[in-house]
Amino acid sequence: MNVVTCPGCAAKNRVPQARAGKVRCAKCHADLPWLVEADDNSFDTVVAEATLPVLVDVWAPWCGPCRQIAPVVDGLSREFAGRLKVAKVNADTSPRVSQRHGVSSIPTLLLYRDGKEIDRMIGAVPAPQLRAWVERALTT
């Protein structure tokens, strides 16, 4: 479980890695940002049990472009709270996820809906382009 501070009332909330629905603040009931880490063992559960679209960021700590877009990806979890779940997968410690999904370059961003990949973006892109890409996926 992750602990997330509610942007509305500052209450601390335990947020599970996987479940159906969206996560809400226990105190004020505002939608919470849902940002989790996934690995080879938890990936299927994190993505498959999600009823929200899931943005998966496959990254590595040594990757400069990955570090460049990380704050943007984190910000999308806050901006689209209640509409999007974000899962970060470290390619170095979770090689099976990368192999299974044909990830050969990082960062690779995968969009899932109903447990199926619907789109992907490879490489670091400017924040407005990434935001627009996610918005398109949320409206279709």
Active site residues: 63, 66
- At 48, list the tokens: 């498959």
Please give the single-letter amino acid code of residue 90: N
Torsion over CA: 70, 12, 28, 15 (sign): positive
Contact 52, 83 (CB under 8 A): yes
State the Cα–Cα distance between residues 104 and 133, nearest whole angstrom: 21
Contact 81, 32 (CB under 8 A): yes
Please work out, in degrees rounded to the nearest 5, the angle formed at the alpha carbon of residue 126 by the alpha carbons of 125 and 127: 115
Contact 88, 38 (CB under 8 A): yes
